Amino acid sequence: MRTLIALGGNAMTAPDGRARPEDQIAAVGRATAAVADLVAAGVEVVLTHGNGPQVGNLLVKNELAAHVVPPVPLDWCGAQTQGTLGFVIVSALEAALAARGSAKPVAAVVTRTLVDAHDPGFKHPTKPIGRYLPADQAAAMIAHGQTWEDRGARGWRRVVASPEPLAVLDAGAVRTLVEAGFVVVACGGGGIPVVREETGARAGMEALAAPGVRARGSGAAVGDVGVGVRGGGTVAPGAGVGVRGVEAVIDKDLSAVLLARAVGADHLVIATDVDHMYLHYGRADERALRHVGVAELRGYLAAGEFGGGSMAPKAEAACRFVEGGGTRAVITSLSSIREAVLGEAGTVVDKETDRA
């Protein structure tokens, strides 16, 4: 049985939301215990994770140090958090497996996710990230090429694109590792957002003005490895097609579906902070969904049952996974991961249409 488990960002912080290094290490230790139980029982696991709190911390550092060093682009923030969290998760999972008598190897893969340079989200970024700032501080960040919006009394807040993920570019490496016996950590934060483009110095320079993609900064520097583009990432020299990082955030659960398909996962488990999806959530007549078919869940989505909150994209991801041939998707709490893989906990989504 091959399962992809998508850990929510809450799994990487303390219960009260603190994200100090010691808080994150402790939280990851708790999260990986359940994963280690599954691996020790013979389940092949690919693990993805959120990175919202960690990217948020990096953005604060960008803001505080903007007058000293240039802010790093958002794709770099994603790459940095993939590296940091990958290291922490691998270390914790290795220790948890060893405690269970398992020598299963674990690896983390820095993962890029392809998006369309012409995705409408780039022209009209709407995804708010980071903290609120007063106008003068926001102006300093705007001067570095970022997009900020006036949110009234609360101040200004940065907005970025959230384009549709098209493909996980490093999925082949992930699958190779899984088939070699590794537990793999990949696609953190939905993956580092990149777009396709022609390579070479000329293409790298022209990419700064690519339609639909807001470039950062004011130039490029040709180095030994490639063309370092302040629009994000690098463009390799020579002919052909390369990729370039862009200012965006990608929904991690939608990217998880792409990765799950690419590695041939039978099951998708989306871990969040509630045991089930709920109808009429927060009302006197709220009801837990325990088993729901794709067609029925599509109906709830179309009716706006899950609003614009974080549950709607999870429901969408569950539908896409099953529609794409997956056996079942389960949305549940972190503490119920093991039971969810067996279909014994959480909201089970499959092709059945007669139960809720």
CB 4 within 8 A of CB 265: yes
Q: Does residue 111 belong to any structural domain of this protein?
A: yes
Q: Does residue 346 belong to any structural domain of this protein?
A: no
Q: Does residue 117 belong to any structural domain of this protein?
A: yes
Q: Does residue 281 belong to any structural domain of this protein?
A: no
- Domain hosting residue 7, numbered range: 2-265
Q: Does residue 319 belong to any structural domain of this protein?
A: no
CB 178 within 8 A of CB 108: no
Q: Does residue 352 belong to any structural domain of this protein?
A: no
pLDDT per residue as tens, the chain (356 positions): 999 999 987 777 877 777 788 988 998 998 899 999 999 999 999 999 998 888 888 888 988 888 899 888 999 999 999 999 999 999 999 999 999 999 999 999 999 999 999 999 898 888 888 888 899 989 988 988 889 999 899 999 988 899 999 999 999 999 999 999 999 999 999 999 999 986 554 444 344 333 333 333 333 322 322 333 333 443 433 445 699 999 999 999 999 999 999 999 999 999 988 899 999 887 888 899 999 999 999 999 999 888 766 789 999 999 999 999 999 999 998 889 988 988 889 999 999 754 44
DSSP state of 335: G
Q: Hey, CA dihedral for 31, 33, 37, 40, is it positive or negative? A: positive
CB 253 within 8 A of CB 165: no
CB 105 within 8 A of CB 182: yes
Q: Tokens for 95?
A: 């220790």
Q: Tokens for 189?
A: 């934060």
DSSP alpha helix (H) spans, the chain: 21-40, 52-65, 74-99, 120-123, 135-142, 171-179, 201-206, 252-263, 294-302, 311-323, 337-341
- Predicted local distance difference test score (pLDDT) of residue 241: 65
Q: Does residue 317 belong to any structural domain of this protein?
A: no
Catalytic residue set: 9-10, 127, 252, 314
Q: How many domains does the chain have?
A: 1
Q: What is the number of residues in the chain?
A: 356
Q: The domain that contains 185 carries what CATH number?
A: 3.40.1160.10
203-206: long-range pairs with CB below 8 Å, 24+: 203/235, 203/242, 204/229, 204/235, 204/244
Q: Does residue 116 belong to any structural domain of this protein?
A: yes
